[in-house]
Structure 1
């Protein structure tokens, strides 16, 4: 019996501003059956606040698993050492790279109106980050997005690649998370907190950063618009987001 359903956001629950009415209905049905809901996304808690409230979802596993919040408040967090972030900011300034830092409540950037950030904002949507001020105390940072190519990322990762979870989602943009965190490890921490077993969980995703998530639960479901690598790992493949894929899967394999 499924007791919790976890949902990736972009390409799964919504496509930019498009969120199918059938998805809202399916989530309501799950809640009426006593199934807990959780967002499970590479985005920040800050960015997910309005969606979480809109869909009445209490739990959010954000920053690719590095931050877990309940109704917007931090429950668990795995932040970078502050000296690591400070070093990255120094390297970014030296190379004229934009950096996006995900805190628990805000997003920060070292460069306003950077062309690559603006391109990402046009393509997938980002809320406006807060400019970092010189001498400002560094907040806890749970995820960093570097706007640089794969060759240039070596200046940040150096010989510690095995210490991070790295998800390159554009040739010019990469997510970096601490201590090898990913969505599966973040969700597992939530499951331990809720005293649930993986076989009692369904998870939905569409991208490469959902691979570990889909494999870690009893019912891993790939969207019809998912990448081929994820479809190969999933227990089920549903229809695409524009074909009411969430509602189809909820009726067919969960309820």
Structure 2
């Protein structure tokens, strides 16, 4: 049995079911882990305001990894670490997405823009850029164009999107900082996820768990494949490796 002291959970497609809810069963299991002194950290592509209510309802106690590791927050909403994209890159990616017919969205330090843009990109600080399309050819072409730009980290949270952070930013890197703050190592981490933005933390964790609904690449690198997000896969993984 691994010596798990921290559970890192992706949200969409992992902790949350198809209705974007945490089931009562999963809440109960997370509560048991917390009562045993195990920290639980949401490690998500979401920005702070869209994940904090879930953390609060679960009575989490330590840190939040948001925007794929672009920010780390305490549960008191104190900013621990932040990594920003260049505004000129955000503006360039926006125009490129429109030209190529993919649906852009962006997260600044204060708000989410979805299929719209600010009047002036330079009045904001930018954490993350993304775009969606059901046309995989368009996504591949967009990815190819981004490969010519320097200083970017490309990933996804669904097969139908591309997500962009500053180069080197990942959930794994952020979790290493969290571990340092808590006086533990990645060997003490159980990480659960389903998409490419989870792959590094699953590879680097003491126990890396892919959801039953995960992308195949995630299942290949994981130590364990649990049930799907609609069948309490997170709770079952915690019961197997922690409780």
Match of 1:55 in 2: 58
Query: Helix, strand or coil for the counterpart of 1:12?
Result: coil
Query: Helix, strand or coil for the counterpart of 1:224?
Result: coil
- Deviation sequence 1:105-137 (CA, Å, 0-9, x none): 42124x44xxxxxxxxxxxxxxxxxx51x2464
Query: Helix, strand or coil for the counterpart of 1:190?
Result: helix
1:64 is aligned to 2:53: no
Match of 1:210 in 2: 198
Could you tell me whether the CA contact under 8 Å between 2:154 and 2:163 is conserved in 1? yes
* TM norm structure 2: 0.84
Which of 199, 204, 216 is 1:228 aligned to? Answer: 216
Could you tell me whether the CA contact under 8 Å between 2:158 and 2:195 is conserved in 1? no
Give distance in 2, aligned partners of 1:238 and 1:170: 18
1:159 is aligned to 2:179: no
Aligned residues: 233
Q: Compute the displacement of 1:240 (Å).
A: 2.2
Match of 1:116 in 2: none
1:108 is aligned to 2:113: yes
In structure 2, stretches of 5+ residues that fail to align are none
In structure 1, stretches of 5+ residues that fail to align are 113-130
1:76 is aligned to 2:81: yes
- Deviation sequence 1:216-238 (CA, Å, 0-9, x none): 11011122222332222111222
Instruction: Summarize the Cα distance change of 1:23–1:173 in structure 2 as closer, same or farther, 3 Å threshold.
Output: same
Write the mapping of 1:1-255 to structure 2, written as runs, cut at 5 A.
1-15=3-17, 16-57=19-60, 58-71=62-75, 72-92=77-97, 98-109=103-114, 111-112=115-116, 132=118, 134-135=119-120, 137-147=122-132, 149=138, 150-155=140-145, 157=146, 159-160=148-149, 163-168=151-156, 173-255=161-243
* TM norm structure 1: 0.80
Q: Relative to structure 2, which stretch is displaced further, 43-52 or 24-33?
A: 43-52
Instruction: Summarize the Cα distance change of 1:21–1:92 in structure 2 as closer, same or farther, 3 Å threshold.
Output: same
Could you tell me whether the CA contact under 8 Å between 2:156 and 2:195 is conserved in 1? no
